[in-house]
A and B are shown apart, each in its own frame.
Chain A
Amino acid sequence: MPERKIRVLIAKPGLDGHDRGAKTVATVLRDHGMEVIYTGLHQTPSQIAEAAAQEDVDVVGLSILSGAHMSLFPRVRAELAERGLKHVLLTGGGIIPREDMEALEGDGFAKLFGPGTKTDDIAQWIQETMRARWTEEEVEA
């Protein structure tokens, strides 16, 4: 049986134009064998949740360098929940102070990554987390 591919949506919420990180991570995740959909810039929280639903993704990764994370990240989380996508692995990164990361990690975000993170570490973390989830699901089934 072919190995199930992890489907990831990389998204840029808000008006922030800094997409170097998002695009680099998207490319690296693809190199690691994942199916990656990149939303492009300037997405509203509802557009992102809609894309996540339509693309039936396992993971949503948000990138923000504009300081608006405390407003936009929770709104994306809420929009996902509204569409019944609470199970989606929610992650992200950017210029986010550590205390904000901790707050968001206590609020539906599995893990956030800051500047200097190795992209391979992100890929590995996603793979391990998803593998663990799928194994759990199999056991439950």
Chain B
Amino acid sequence: MSETRVANHSKTVADGRRLWEEALREARLREGNFTTISGAPVKPAYGPGDVDVDYEADLGWPGQFPYTRGVHPSMYRGRLWTMRQFAGFGTSAQTNERFKFLLDHGQTGLSVAFDFPTLMGHDSDAELSLGEVGQVGVAVSSLADMETLMDGIPMDRVSTSMTINGPAPIMLAFYIACGENQGVDPKLLRGTVQNDILKEYQAQHAWLVPAEPALRMITDVMSYCADRVPQWNTISISGYHIREAGSTAAQELAFTLANGFEYVKRGLAAGMDVDTFAPRLSFFFDSHLDFFEEICKFRAARRIWARHLRDEFGAEDPRSWMIRFHTQTAGVSLTAQQPENNIVRTTLEALAGVLGGTQSLHTNSMDETLSLPTEKAVKIALRTQQIIAEESEVAHVADPLGGSYFIEAQTKRLEDEAENYFQEIEKRGGMVACTEAGYVQREIHRAAVAYQRALETGTKRVVGVNCYTEDLDAEPEIDLHRIDPAVEREQHDRLEALRKRRDSDKVRSELDDVREACRSGGNLLERFVSAAHAYCTLGEIAGVLREEFGEYHEPKIL
């Protein structure tokens, strides 16, 4: 474009803008708070002058640095996103059945939800587990449970995501050992273990040991997998829980990426080359109801990560620069009132994830504010993704909203807010210090209270909750999925039988080796795989870690 044409063009635009602004001042506006769901003000329209982006430097084509427009040149023309429904409840046998049901209905990857005892590193028969076994996920107390969970599922062909953090390295060891027992070379295993401990302290709160030993185990996983389980994503750095705990979109973006940078620093400090482990870091974001803000958040995440990895951490492999992420629709946006409406909310959120270029997606079921989802609700949620993929024709074009003045301005706004947080975090001594001092938790809490206030004053409207409400009793009955209390007894019996059947000398010596590695600094994942094969239980291995490293105590923020 020549200089003169640019000048003429801006002159016309400027005139138009002035006229529009005048017309706007005259216009009657309906009452309402014109902000994003995170409270960021938005203008009535966006045009030239609202954005300052350089196409090559700030956007690039899909598959090109800084990947704002997506990580693959062909995006969904090459391959659709992975439809990955998070599932798990009761015993490993029950969850195994649900997995097969989902695979039979066209799901393309597995995603395991564990119960709270497992997430906290307790066996099903521990005293603290009473009443919680199999409730919000499946109970996996040893390799034996993992073998039942994956029974009849070819581990060299399916990819599996495991949402577990504190005891993540132990669970990964069960998975690797299970694969070996199925005759599958660990090199062929594909999947992800969440393993993101920082956001546990900040938001999701299922931890095992304090930050320093936990971070050491994470680098142990990264270095072990680099050679031996090379297709495995060693961390899924997760904003989902930060957002669900109440953060804004910008906070989700900033804290997640700041956690990611911390893991990179730890890997470097452990003597690894950034390009050996950064390509295996994956991400996980929430998709909330603010359609455009979410799309912009995904775009901003790609751009920020690419720039920091290349320019700050010196990564040279383009795979280190690319954020690949999973998305889940926002559980927190669902309402217990008129629950069928949740299908619509989930559809909007799922569409934002797709237009934002996600690599995989979980769509929530409509009944999740009431209990675990029923099979019918789960099927509708999966069908929602299939309708977006097969019927809406949105998957043909990469980053279809790229270049929109509004989208680009908001992407930039989110990037700037995240960069401001990075500076603040640096000033406060980094992400571990910020977490231990409760800074991140306090920021999230403040946003959660502000959102609740907006709901209660009615500035934020939610259908069925504070507008268009119906009498509770007039609501249709909806089937509930309940966990049979027999699950707990069954797990106790299984564990008792296991403890009798295994070689107890072998168990003792494996646990001693774990203890020794805790002290000597040897690779813990290596020890865990070996202990898994001897059928040491989760609680036994985690028990050694607690004894050696101590327990984590949350900072008081209230």
Contact = CB atoms under 8 A, between A and B. Distances in A.
Given A41-B205, A67-B372, A15 B117 contact: yes
A71 B485 CA distance: 10
Interface in A67-105: 67-68, 70-72, 75, 95, 97
Interface in B430-466: 445, 448-449, 452, 455-456, 462, 464-465
Nearest to A118: B456
B106 to A, nearest CB: 28
Interface string A24-56: 101110000000101011101000000000000
B266 to A, nearest CB: 23
B550 interface: no
Contacts of A23: 445, 448, 557-558
B401 interface: no
A116 B461 CA distance: 12
A24 B448 contact: yes
A68 B135 contact: yes
B116 interface: yes
A71 B131 contact: yes
A76 to B, nearest CB: 11
Given A26-B558, A71-B131, A17 B205 contact: yes
B452 A24 contact: yes
Contacts of A19: 205, 245
Given A27-B445, A67-B483, A95-B371, A14 B132 contact: yes
Contact of A17 (B206, B336, B445, B465): B206
Contact of B558 (A38, A42, A44, A120): A38
Interface string B186-202: 00000000000000100
Interface string B265-291: 000000000000000000000000000
B466 to A, nearest CB: 8
A119 B452 contact: yes
Q: What size tier do the contact residues of chain A reach?
A: 20 to 34
A129 interface: no
Contacts of A26: 558
A20 interface: yes
Interface residue SS majority, chain B: loop
Contact of B131 (A36, A70, A119): A70
Contacts of B14: none
Nearest to B130: A71
Contact of A20 (B130, B448, B554, B556): B448
Contacts of A116: 335-337, 462, 464-465
Interface residue SS majority, chain A: loop
B131 A68 contact: yes
A40 B336 contact: no
Given A24-B448, A71-B132, A97-B370, A15 B120 contact: yes
A28 B464 CA distance: 23
Given A20-B246, A41-B205, A66-B136, A27 B336 contact: no
B246 A40 contact: no
Interface in A107-140: 114-116, 118-120
Contacts of B448: 20, 23-24
A96 B556 CA distance: 27
A15 B116 contact: yes
Given A40-B554, A66-B136, A95-B370, A28 B449 contact: yes
B480 interface: yes
A114 B472 CA distance: 12
Contacts of B554: 40-41
A101 B117 CA distance: 24
A70 B128 CA distance: 15
B120 A20 contact: no
Contacts of A114: 336
Contact of A68 (B122, B132, B205): B132
Interface string B372-395: 100000000000000000000000
Contacts of B445: 23-24, 27
Nearest to B462: A116
16 contacts: A14-B116, A15-B122, A16-B132, A18-B205, A20-B245, A20-B332, A27-B445, A27-B449, A95-B369, A95-B371, A97-B370, A97-B371, A115-B336, A115-B369, A116-B336, A118-B456
Given A20-B332, A67-B483, 8 more contacts: A14-B132, A15-B120, A15-B128, A16-B136, A17-B204, A95-B369, A115-B335, A116-B335
Interface of B: 116-117, 119-120, 122, 128-132, 135-136, 200, 204-206, 244-246, 332, 335-337, 369-372, 445, 448-449, 452, 455-456, 462, 464-465, 480, 483, 554, 556-558
Interface of A: 14-20, 23-24, 26-28, 36, 38, 40-42, 44, 66-68, 70-72, 75, 95, 97, 114-116, 118-120
| Complex A-B, nearest 3 residue pairs according to Cβ-Cβ distance, in ascending order | A71-B131, A17-B205, A15-B116
